[in-house]
Amino acid sequence: MMEKLVLASNNAGKLKEFAALLAPLGVEVIPQGRLNVPECAEPHHTFLENALEKARHASRITGLPAMADDSGICVAALGGQPGVLSARYAGEPKSDARNNAHLIGQLQGQSNRRAWYYCVLVLVRHADDPQPLVADGAWYGEVVDEARGAGGFGYDPHFYLPDFACSAAELPAEQKNRVSHRGQAMQALLAKLQALQS
């Protein structure tokens, strides 16, 4: 099992979640910023292509294994948008508050509030890894106008989970890590990693 990997992200929320998920395996997760890796362009229209681009970029610069995710919220009434544009839905500079306000504005008058968070994780052992490990996960809920809860990040305060009768921002972090799109993708990726080690 690898001891270190670069997380191809500078998102503090993602770093915290991935570090917690990988800690039991003894893997140290290093954010790319600490190794002076500049942010990678995300020019693609799919989560998978963007995640692969980011992982290869971080691995090429650091010489270490690298993991990247591309994730976002997809809304049924908006044809799957904001999708890969989730982090910049309201434009630059990135702002969770403006993104949420923009999403709520786009959904005014819509009765269908069904939405899902989607995550693709890609792990490359080296920049030219011919067989990247790929896993994904989806987490279903609905968008609500009123923000609920102070936890999480991104769209979490507006992402209501009928099964839990609360928003993603109201779930305890440990529970969120188990059931979220990122948690599901991570569990699938861990299973693939463990299969390679056995």
Q: What is the mean pLDDT of residues 52-57?
A: 97
Count of structural domains within the chain = 1
Q: How confident is the model at residue 197 (pLDDT cuts 50, 70, 90)?
A: low
- pLDDT > 80? residue 21: no
Catalytic residues, which ones?
Answer: 70
The tokens of 158 are what?
């507006």
- Model confidence pLDDT, tens digit, residues 118-175: 999 999 999 999 999 999 999 999 999 999 999 988 999 999 999 999 999 999 988 9
Specify the CATH number for the domain of residue 78. Answer: 3.90.950.10
Instruction: Give the C-alpha distances (Å, rounded to integers) separating 15 from 68, 140, 188.
Output: 11, 22, 18
Note whether 123 and 89 are within 8 A (CB): no
For residue 13, give its domain range: 4-197
- Model confidence pLDDT, tens digit, residues 168-186: 999 998 899 889 999 899 9
Write down the pLDDT at residue 23: 82
Between CA 162 and CA 170 the distance in angstroms is 12
